[in-house]
Structure 1
């Protein structure tokens, strides 16, 4: 399988597209305004110690001083593993003093009048591992429940630990190979060496480690993947990535390229059009069938329909062919849209158990290309396929789209007729509650036209019923459901 990364960089946004065999498979988007401070490491200075609060304020060159509690200061004296008694937090004055330089990491962004929350228990994450410079052991994520897998992962990672480097194996490492874990461990150790070098320079103006931006994270996460080319359309970003790969992942330096073309980089593989299609509910299949994808708070549902595909044999073969084709499209859409959590797939009903088995196998093969952990649970008693896919980041829809101001996320608007009748009822309600001489109705263009034309006889009957004049005023800026009833 041939893979290529396209990286589009602008001052406000970075977008990364993974192309496999000429087709967009994954899309990653990061906006500069949404990047926080969590994960950044600073060489800070204690500017005030507050014994009553068991805390200290630390200057890390932000607008507000950051907050460091005594319980967030790492020290072996505070850990008593042999005792079941609660840990006793030492007096803050025995841990730090004013004017002291201290290496800290942001665990919570500044909020309102509060400064950032800090810890001295430093951790640096990669794709599969988390480095703990203050530890010397290997830990396994509790979410990896399989005992044999936990033992396998611990046996792989333990040799990389020493007195100054401990590791936690992340949930994403479930099923990861020895080579990938080795790459991650080496990457993190090299990264921590660079952090220590920057600490020795005693720089306080900028972070000594900043959580990687999208372009760097993608380079890190795809380390070990067979990529033919990585193209970047920003000269500055290319130079930064060139330095980064030379230091940490030299194996990727040979596939890194600067793209100077006049044609936008995302036009090369029709990426922009593919992203637009990934926001649609309906996905067309080559055979004429189609999928309907609905993302809700609780789950994602996918419905398959034959559409215009009538087949050349019997109905059962037509249904089977459509379902098999749909499995490839589903696997691609889950990756491209980054849909996670519970996923319910409503394949077209099949009578044959053999067909069901082959459709499930086709789905499993198509999903095998996905690096995100997933689980397929087969057909339920209702004929639905239930599966889960780990949530790794916001879905493409949640990043690129917001709630519709008109429908408030329902995906539907009340009809003109429904809104017209709501207005008539509102006039009656207001008339009973208040004393008015006449009413003016402000409504959208289609609703006001309906009241003046189609519903004119109802409006006239209401005027006679309440004995007051009703005027209709068009408000072009109103959406279809908006209206106001004003008393005069």
Structure 2
């Protein structure tokens, strides 16, 4: 099977699915009222400087002030002293002051209660290049691995930009194998775009957006379209027509691969994308062998636990564990991409005794992560059998985008047992009788709780009414959650 990009456009949201060999690998979502700010450039105003955190809060016109760390203000290339050692960076109070206006770019969307993350180190991407307006050097993506190709691209870019240009460029992974004409077109596009941005800076007011990155469909084409993509299917004709015009400007040789999806069935029913999205919201991700991954997100980190489950397919335990961990390593890399999990990630592989098995599992994980567009770092397996890794996070995870905390359990993932609620009701009855003089009480709770009290605790109710000298009525309420109840004085 070939790779495809599926773009589903509706009145309220746009979704982009990247499918590799018939299997969903990545999903991007943009809603009209919840668009991403990453890549946008704003004229910001410093609201507060926090010396203890080496950071500042900056107003860029969003609901919450954004966060700017000192490291994101300093030049990308650290200054060196005469001995060639890095110079101690200045304090945040020496870099910015309250009320100062700054040209800043969003590098991370607001997440949870945190505001957006900013940088003054601007970068503007195109199809093959990233423009660095204030840095005069050339970089090459680490995913272009051959020395010959890296040097070819550097030489070609230098010949195109000349020696007098102050701006720098990074050659993206997509640039591998491209020729002079394609790079020249990108350079011209980026120069014209930067000239427009510079012209807008002088008259910009604090909180004004000076440059807005492409909307999701075209951003996806820019970042994900490559020779291996056989088709791009778009179920909205107007979006498809604009996408073709966009493609003819940046990669005309592939523009004929973008087609309007006209079939009767929903686009995301192809390759079972909707089913895959539903499964990605589950805590458990099954493995083909019968094992499974248990994936838990917390505020601080994401944990992944590998379990053999029902898998007993090999002649000895060590071999069974090894095969399960190998399969899990590839599945974990896919789940991280699909669920858009980032930050600190702890993987608990099943304990292995053979050092070579540990090395092979780690290599498998690293190779599987190589296809991921998000940058990640992976540590060695610790003495406790854990792998610590980080994955760059710029937007919220799939679960946080599509779900909200459960109102019944307040996001805990657990509710009190029926027996626990019954005990709480008895305590509340005693508290009410001691606090108020009354001859009658009414208890309202979910039918399950009321049934348990009347069936299993009827003797306790009889003793309680005799002891307290009061009558108690029980009223089932269908709309109540399991933990919810009321004791009402009549």
Q: TM-score range by the shorter chain?
A: 0.7 to 0.9
CA 1:407–1:269 in structure 2 vs 1: closer, same or farther (change >3 Å)? Answer: same
2:410 matched residue in structure 1? 408
Q: Counterpart of 2:33 in 1: which secondary structure?
A: helix
* CA–CA distance in structure 2, aligned partners of residues 123 and 185 of structure 1: 18
Shift of 1:136: 7.0
Contact 1:16 1:27 in 2 (8 A): yes
1:236 matched residue in structure 2? 238
Pairing of 1:398-437 with structure 2 (within 5 A):
398-437=400-439
Contact 1:124 1:188 in 2 (8 A): no
TM-superposition CA deviations, 1:273-294 (whole Å, max 9, x none): 1111111112222221122111
TM-superposition CA deviations, 1:72-98 (whole Å, max 9, x none): xxxxxxxxxxxx997999x99xx9xxx
1:380 matched residue in structure 2? 382
Deviates more, 1:436-445 or 1:124-133: 124-133
Shift of 1:209: 5.8
CA 1:452–1:162 in structure 2 vs 1: closer, same or farther (change >3 Å)? Answer: farther
1:79 matched residue in structure 2? none
1:480 matched residue in structure 2? 482
TM-superposition CA deviations, 1:6-36 (whole Å, max 9, x none): 1111111111111111111111111111127
1:190 aligns with 2:189: yes
CA 1:10–1:460 in structure 2 vs 1: closer, same or farther (change >3 Å)? Answer: same
* CA–CA distance in structure 2, aligned partners of residues 40 and 299 of structure 1: 27
1:5 aligns with 2:5: yes
Shift of 1:265: 1.3
Q: 1:370 is matched with which residue: 366, 369, 372?
A: 372
Normalised by the size of structure 2, how large is the TM-score? 0.72
* CA–CA distance in structure 1, aligned partners of residues 38 and 216 of structure 2: 15
Pairing of 1:140-289 with structure 2 (within 5 A):
160=161, 166-167=167-168, 187=186, 189-190=188-189, 193=192, 210-224=212-226, 226-289=228-291
* CA–CA distance in structure 1, aligned partners of residues 480 and 349 of structure 2: 41
CA 1:192–1:260 in structure 2 vs 1: closer, same or farther (change >3 Å)? Answer: farther
Contact 1:2 1:227 in 2 (8 A): yes
1:337 matched residue in structure 2? 339
* CA–CA distance in structure 1, aligned partners of residues 373 and 179 of structure 2: 14
2:460 matched residue in structure 1? 458
2:87 matched residue in structure 1? none
Unaligned 5+ segments in structure 1 are 45-61, 63-83, 96-103, 110-119, 141-150, 201-206
1:116 matched residue in structure 2? none
Contact 2:233 2:258 in 1 (8 A): yes
Shift of 1:228: 1.3
Shift of 1:254: 2.7
2:20 matched residue in structure 1? 20
1:440 matched residue in structure 2? 442
Contact 1:303 1:347 in 2 (8 A): yes
Q: Counterpart of 2:330 in 1: which secondary structure?
A: helix
1:31 matched residue in structure 2? 31
* CA–CA distance in structure 2, aligned partners of residues 352 and 107 of structure 1: 45
Contact 1:328 1:366 in 2 (8 A): yes
Contact 1:128 1:181 in 2 (8 A): no
* CA–CA distance in structure 1, aligned partners of residues 245 and 194 of structure 2: 16
Equivalenced residue count is 422
Contact 2:128 2:186 in 1 (8 A): no
* CA–CA distance in structure 2, aligned partners of residues 161 and 483 of structure 1: 75
Shift of 1:306: 1.6
* CA–CA distance in structure 1, aligned partners of residues 233 and 214 of structure 2: 18
CA 1:464–1:334 in structure 2 vs 1: closer, same or farther (change >3 Å)? Answer: same
CA 1:461–1:264 in structure 2 vs 1: closer, same or farther (change >3 Å)? Answer: same
CA 1:439–1:16 in structure 2 vs 1: closer, same or farther (change >3 Å)? Answer: same
TM-superposition CA deviations, 1:291-348 (whole Å, max 9, x none): 2111111111111222221124112211211111111211111111111112111222
* CA–CA distance in structure 2, aligned partners of residues 208 and 297 of structure 1: 33
* CA–CA distance in structure 2, aligned partners of residues 450 and 161 of structure 1: 82
Q: Counterpart of 1:436 in 2: which secondary structure?
A: coil
Shift of 1:249: 3.4
1:301 matched residue in structure 2? 303
Contact 1:137 1:162 in 2 (8 A): no
1:55 matched residue in structure 2? none
Pairing of 1:57-206 with structure 2 (within 5 A):
124-125=124-125, 131=131, 135=134, 137-138=136-137, 160=161, 166-167=167-168, 187=186, 189-190=188-189, 193=192
* CA–CA distance in structure 1, aligned partners of residues 96 and 420 of structure 2: 65
Q: Counterpart of 2:456 in 1: which secondary structure?
A: coil
Shift of 1:406: 0.8
Shift of 1:365: 2.0
Normalised by the size of structure 1, how large is the TM-score? 0.72
